[in-house]
Amino acid sequence: MKMFKRLIAAVTAAFTMLTAVPITVSAVTFTPTNGVDDQGKPVPIYLYSKSVFMIDLDSGSPITDINSDEKLAAGYLTQLMTCAIVLDEFKGNEKRLRESYVSGDSAAYDELFNTGAPTADIQPYEEVNYYDLLVSMILCSSCEAANIVATNLCESIFEFTIRMNNRASELGMNNTSFSSPHGLFTMQNYTTAKDMSILCRYLYNNYPVFSDICSETMITLEPTEDHTEGTNIYNNNLMINPYSPYYYKNASGIKVSSQEDSGRSMVSCASEDGSTYLTVTMGAPFEKTEADIKKGQNDPDSIYGDDYVQYNILDHTSLYRWAFGSLDHVDFINPNSEITDAKVEFGDGADYVNLKPSGGINILWPSDLETSVVKHDVTVYKNIIAPVEKGDVLGKLVLTYNGEVLKSVDLIATASIKRSKKSSTLRIAASYFRSNEFKWAVFIIVMLFSIYGIGYFLYLQLKYLKINKK
């Protein structure tokens, strides 16, 4: 009986560990496509960017991943971390942001002199509030705004970069290093598309004031002594400008970066029919490609006829058109479906219990990819012993695609089964005779009898020898 109790305790501990495992989130990504070729095979979308990472904003599940862990120059996307430091400092309170004024001295301006850095025309010692500094960084990548933030929230720009890197580490941006608040300089200032998605999802989900600013095409800064009528700050993100040839109606922010050294990078969001995606691209060409120069010569009125082509925006538009046109929420598992049966030991009137999923599984899935390619792996736990309660976790269902886990769900009992005292007693008795303990007991008894027999035989032999000597 003690052995049986130990077995029950072990099984209970195992169930506790298994049921503590969280539901697996999909890490599978898909290749964006644009139609099919002559053989009927999907044709991948041509993308200019070196690195691409697209996620479902609500769940955080990745949709598309192209070199998302490659470390690339962060460019002016750096200022998103500077914005995060400000928003954390003020807990996203817009009223406090508008009521708190600061200015910048030579420490904020000296390194920017004659660099051609993007500016919001904030002058040295001009009193501006933190809300307007956020606007200046998000909309037009103002480098002096980033340095004004740094020199007011920390003792120096260097100390502020330490704070930036500490915050990046806290958020899980493990492949990121910041060396300035603004991103004008590329040395030791890098990130990845995946890391930048972590930061932007954090900002978007926690600070409504951030998403509000990102979606504006123009904001007028508060009037000051240096700018008595305020300053109009226009959003560099032409994707949300209805008067731009790059306009995409479903987009809302977030930030663009265009540098000769780091190329064209971008973070954006787009929503349609209840789905919202966040996309990060990095390292698209800064200059026009040879092919696009020819396109511009043939069609001067097209976007290719301009001096520069916003390749980052072209990539984002292509990705969103694919996502909204191809991805659908597909129910792979019905929460009421019966999956399999589990064998139950010592059950009263029942040796099996039916299992169903603890919940349904719904996955974003491309319409051009058959759902039959998804593999269903069912695992039923061993040594299930009555009593079993309805809802007990007795197995797991895992969906995989191309060897990668999509999602998993616990399998639970659909009914309760009481324990049969008679069958358990008989089973325990029978199991004892098959146990190692019984085998060892038999072995020891046999050995004892053998030793006794050999000893008694030797005793008789010695006794016989003594009689013969006499």
- The CATH number linked to 261 is 3.40.710.10
Quick one: pLDDT at residue 430? 59
- Regarding whether 345 and 317 lie in a shared domain, the answer is no
Residue at 33 is within a domain: no
Residue at 220 is within a domain: yes
- Regarding whether 159 and 54 lie in a shared domain, the answer is yes
- Regarding whether 49 and 24 lie in a shared domain, the answer is no
What value does the mean pLDDT take over residues 200-219? 97
Residue at 425 is within a domain: no
Q: How far apart are CA 363 and CA 327, in angstroms?
A: 9
Q: At what angle do helices 193-206 and 79-89 cross, to 10 degrees?
A: 30
| Domain CATH code at residue 357 | 2.60.410.10
Residue at 61 is within a domain: yes
What value does the mean pLDDT take over residues 355-367? 93
Last residue of a domain, one of 326, 352, 383: 326
pLDDT in tens, 443-462: 888 888 888 888 778 877 77
Mean predicted lDDT score pLDDT of the chain:
90
Quick one: pLDDT at residue 123? 97
Residue 441: pLDDT over 90: no
pTM: 0.80
Residue at 433 is within a domain: no
For 401, the domain range is 2-28+334-413
With left for phi above 0 and alpha for psi between -120 and 50, is residue 417 left, alpha or beta?
beta
CB atoms within 10 A of CB 428: 15
Quick one: pLDDT at residue 422? 66
Residue at 74 is within a domain: yes
What value does the mean pLDDT take over residues 425-444? 70
- Regarding whether 51 and 10 lie in a shared domain, the answer is no
- Percent of the chain topping pLDDT 90: 75
In terms of DSSP H, where are the helices of 353-433? 421-433
- Regarding whether 9 and 139 lie in a shared domain, the answer is no
- Regarding whether 305 and 190 lie in a shared domain, the answer is yes
Q: How far apart are CA 267 and CA 271, in angstroms?
A: 14
pLDDT confidence bin for 463, thresholds 50/70/90: confident
Pick the residue with more confidence: 62 or 42?
62
The DSSP H or E segment spanning 361 is strand 361-366
- Regarding whether 274 and 385 lie in a shared domain, the answer is no
- Regarding whether 114 and 75 lie in a shared domain, the answer is yes
Domain count, the chain: 3
- Regarding whether 96 and 132 lie in a shared domain, the answer is yes
- Regarding whether 137 and 6 lie in a shared domain, the answer is no
Quick one: pLDDT at residue 449? 84
- Regarding whether 346 and 287 lie in a shared domain, the answer is no
Residue at 53 is within a domain: yes
pLDDT confidence bin for 118, thresholds 50/70/90: very high
Residue bearing tokens 């209805």:
242
**Beta strands per DSSP E along 211-250:** 218-220, 232-234
